[in-house]
Every structure is written in structure tokens, then in C-alpha cells.
Structure 1
Amino acid sequence: MIELVEQGAVLQGFIDKWLAVQPQQRVALAFVDGRRYPGHVALAALEQELLGAAYGIREPQVAVAKLNWWAEELAGAAASGGRHPLTQVLFDDERAHAIASDLWLAPVLAAMAQLEQGSAADFAVQFDAAMPLHGALAALETAWWYGSAASPARAARVATLNHLLYALLRLEQDAERDRLPLPMARLARHGLSRTQLRAPSEARQQAVKAQLDDLLASWRGSATLAGPLSVFRALESRHGSKLAQRAARTDDALATLQAGQPHAGLATALQAWHAARAWQRQLS
């Protein structure tokens, strides 16, 4: 009994890490009960673990080591049941065994491939560079929620857009990293250096707003793509696009992004409810 309690606490710790990044998902959990759908929640927490390794570790060799561990873990989990608490929950579900092994490995391989990427030349290149990792995560998630026949096209687009938006709000902190949240052409057009990204200015405001305009145009285009969204992905996308719209209308777009928006109000609950209804309709 003590061991089960300890395992549950460890598992909850990984879920809490995911919720710390996406606090609006606490509302979604009212419609995706973790006791009935533990794998759905575990998969979201696994995605956050992989993204943390891909983007949150500044030493490339440390990131490679962690991602290599995940590659070994996911490659052997179907046979062993897994060693990590999240993997154990996932591979205790028949869904995990119905998903092709290359879908499990694809996000890890894509994460390793993008570790050495520098700043993109323009928005299109930036989007294409981020797509392999976030598209692979979206493909795995779509197969888990809806089966292998469901298209991940829309989920891949909005997952990539949410990543680029999150990267943008960290502009000041990441101004010295090799991979900047703003493309090089955008910096050149507005005459911005890395140092100038740390302080508010009219040039920075215009560059951030131009980035938001590109993100929002791509978000609007996502509605025409095929494929369903998980409840978590739908809420994440709605939350991100609304935040981008609000920031684009303000005099300090970056400050608005960093402040975020309420995630526990009636609007969020309604969005989660609509996403959950769409999920259940897709399965019926």
C-alpha cells in the first residue's frame, strides 16, 4: 500500500509539471477524468517531459543524454511495460500497443535532431523547423485519442503554433540563446540586435506584433485542415490564439503575452466543455 501511494505521488509530480506550464488544463481535467482516462493525462505529461528536455536544458550533451534515455525507454516499453511512471501508465493501456513503435520514437528523434538548430531566417523556415518535433507529438496524441486512421494535420499545425507563441513570450530570457524566438529577417527589418531584445522599444513592439500577425494568420488557416484535436490540444490552441489576438492589439504586446490571461473563468470552462463534446462525438 505504501509503495502504491509513493508511486501515485511520483506520477502526480509529473502531472503537476505539465499543469504548471498549462494551468488552463486543470479545467479540462473536469471533462477528461484522470481516473477513467489515466493514459490521456499521462501522455500530456510525457509530452511536457520531452519538451522540457528539448528546450529547457541549456547544455546540449545533457539534453542528448536525457533524450537517449527516453528513446531506450519508449523503444522497450511495449515488451517491458516501462520503467518510468508515465510509461508504465501508458503501456498498461491497450492503446499504447496498438500504436506503431515509430510513432512513439518519432518525437524523441525529432527532439534530438533539432538541438543544434540556430535562429531561423524567416517565419516560414522557423515554422518548418519546429514542425517535426511538434508534429510528431501531435501524431502520437491523435493516434492515442482517435486511432491511427485519424489525420494529425490540424493538431500538428496548432501544436507548432503554440510552441512558437510560448517561445515568443520568453524573448527577453532567451535573447542570448542560439535559437532566437524571432527570425533573423524580422530582426534585420526592425534594426534589432540581441541586446535590444531585452528592453521595450518601438522597434521591438513592431517586431513582436509582426510575429503575432504571422502566427494568427497561420492559426486561422488551421481551421481548414483535416483531423480532430484532443481536448487538451483544443483548449491549448484556443487559449494561445486568444492570447495572441489580445497581445496584438496592445501597445506592449510582449508584456501582454507574459502576463497571460485568466485560465479558470467561465469562458475556459465552456471551451473545455465544447472540446470534450467534440471528442465524444468523434468517438461515437
Structure 2
Amino acid sequence: MTMAETQFAAHDHDEALESFVDKWRARWPEWAVAQVFVPAAQRPIALAWASLLQELTDAAWGGSDARPGEAKLAWWGEELQGWALGRRRHPLGAALQRQPAPWAQLASALPALRESRERPRDRADAVAALQPFARAVAATEAVLFEAPFEPAIPAVTAGLLHARLAQMGESAVPLGLLAVAGDHGPRRAWNGELLAHWPALAGARPRRIWSALARQRLSRGDAGLPLPPWATLLTAWRSAR
């Protein structure tokens, strides 16, 4: 490969990486403001990591047909196992694969994430379904951001439940809340229940900020609606202290 071809391939790879990061930014525009409270050296890793989590949860929970997502998760399982062995194919691996994180553990937790697509009976069931994946996420963040592991698990779980509600809407609501009356009654009730049981901020600074932003969205009554800049700034500042 000539130098020009190498440079062209690298440019294409950078563009592919940015396309995945931009997908996450589009869902979390607050990050443009909130990222100033994250150390500069951690920002590229935080962006790539958040983008990877979105790719995984989108595969698990997206679409009316579960089969395409199941195939994607199977591919990701192979990819993450490859990361553990020093190999990578996906553009996000350029930012993440060389980090000494437990990629094989994350791969092993993907079947639990796949199964979490099923509607839970109640909050306890929803939390239990996500525990293997939440533990793997917390373990990975402990390495990526040099942060405690165990205290972050509730915050990771809450963030996943928020993401599931934002993505799946009423399909994410537990069976026990489906009888709530009124327009969007079950979804509003589940939003309130998540908010009432929201854990204390814990973990690395990116996780604390993501958790605080998700909580503020819930407090405004819409898990998928971004916060205005002034609310983002105040929320991120408080959670980063």
C-alpha cells in the first residue's frame, strides 16, 4: 500500500469512527456542554465508550423484529472477544481496543442484554435482568476511567433502564404498570418509578455526569428529551464535583 493509499484508508477509518460518535451525540446533545467537566484526556475514550454502549443497546432493544439485533449482538460478541486477543475490526476499536479493559467479560454479558428486551414483571425484574451486563459495564469503566467498580453498578443499571425507556417507550414498561390509566399513563408511571429509585451518583466522572443528565430528563417527564444548555451546565457541574 502506498503512502497515499494508507492516508486515504486512515481518513476513511476516522470518518467511520466519527459517524458512530455522531450518532451518540445526536441522542445526547447535552454532551457538547457537559464534556468540559471531564478531563481532556478522557473525553475521546468517554465518547467512544458511550457510542459502543449505544450500539449494543440499540441492537438489543431496537426495531419491531428482534432477529436483526440478535445477529448484531452475536457479531459484537465475536468482536469484543477479538479485542481481548488484540484484534479489532470495528472503527470504535481504534479508540477502545488497546485499553486493558475486560472485553471478554463484556462479550459474555451480551446474552443477558439480549434477553432484557422482554417486558419485565416489575422494577425488581427489570433490574435483575440487566445485572450481568451492568456489572460488565461497571467493570469496564473501572479500567477505562480508573474508578471504583462495585459502587458504580446501581448507577450503570439505572442508566440502562433510562436508555431502555427512551428507546422502547411504552414497550419498556413493566407488566405491573400497564393498567395505569390515562394518556401515556404506564410510561409516565414507569418514568416516576425510575426517578423515585434513582441511585446516588457513583463511579467515574463520565458515569456520574451521564447518570445526572438521565435523572434530570426523567424529572422533566421525558426520558428522550434533551435538557436545555443552562440545565445541562448546572447538572454536569454538580455531578462532577
**TM-score scaled by length of structure 2:** 0.81
Decide whether aligned partners of structure 1 residues 230 and 120 sit closer, same or farther in structure 2, where only a CA change above 3 A counts. Answer: same
Q: Following the alignment from structure 2 to structure 1, what is the Cα–Cα distance between the partners of residues 151 and 135?
A: 11
Q: Distance in 1 between matches of 2:80 and 2:63?
A: 20
- Render the CA deviation track for 1:203-247: whole Å, top value 9, x for unaligned: 24543443233112211xx12x8x42432x323322222232232
Summarize the Cα distance change of 1:23–1:138 in structure 2 as closer, same or farther, 3 Å threshold: farther
| 2:241 corresponds to 1:266 | no
Number of equivalent positions: 235
Contact 1:110 1:136 in 2 (8 A): no
Could you list the per-position Cα deviations for residues 85-128 of structure 1 after superposition, in whole angstroms to 9, with x for gaps in the alignment? 11122123xxx22x33443324423223435x2x2222322332
Matches within 5 A, 1:49-128: 49-92=55-98, 96-97=99-100, 99-115=101-117, 117=118, 119-128=119-128
1:70 shift after superposition: 0.9
5+ residue gaps, structure 2, are: 1-6
- Once the two structures are superposed, the pairs formed by residues 177-188 of structure 1 within 5 Å of their partners are 180-188=171-179
Are 1:212 and 2:191 matched, yes or no? Answer: yes
Aligned CA-pair RMSD:
2.9
Which residue in the other structure is 2:129 paired with?
Answer: 129
Aligned equivalents of 1:57, 1:134: Cα separation in 2: 22
* Identity across matched positions, percent: 29
| Contact 1:134 1:159 (C-alpha < 8 Å) held by counterparts | no
1:111-159 deviation line (CA, Å, top 9, x unaligned): 23435x2x22223223322443344333322332125756433332332
Amino acid at match of 2:233: A
* Equivalent in the alignment of 2:215: 241
Taking the aligned partners of 1:76 and 1:207, their CA distance within structure 2 comes to 41
Q: Distance in 1 between matches of 2:158 and 2:110?
A: 19
Distance 1:132 1:57, change over 3 A: farther
Aligned counterparts of 2:146 and 2:54: Cα–Cα separation in 1: 20
Cα contact 1:17–1:45 (8 A) shared by 2 = yes
Q: Which amino acid aligns with 1:260?
A: L
Structure 2 counterpart of 1:28: 34
Amino acid of the residue matched to residue 215 of structure 1?
L
The verdict on how the C-alpha distance between 1:3 and 1:104 changes in structure 2, with shifts beyond 3 A counting, is same
Gaps of 5+ in 1: 172-179, 191-201, 248-256, 279-284
**In 1, Cα distance between the equivalents of 2:43 and 2:213?**
23
Rg larger for: 1
Indicate how the Cα distance of structure 1 residues 33 and 6 shifts in structure 2: closer, same or farther if over 3 A, else same.
farther
Distance in 2 (CA, whole Å) between partners of 1:71 and 1:165 is: 24
Determine the C-alpha separation between the residues in 2 that align with 1:102 and 1:237. 25
Q: State whether residues 135 and 159 of structure 1, in contact with CA within 8 Å, keep that contact through their aligned partners in structure 2.
A: no
The structure 1 residue matched to 2:203, chosen from 210, 228, 235, is: 228
Cα-to-partner distance string for 1:44-103 (whole Å, 9 max, x where unaligned): 1111111111111433332222111111111112333311111122123xxx22x33443
* Partner Cα separation in structure 1 for residue 137 and residue 114 of structure 2: 14
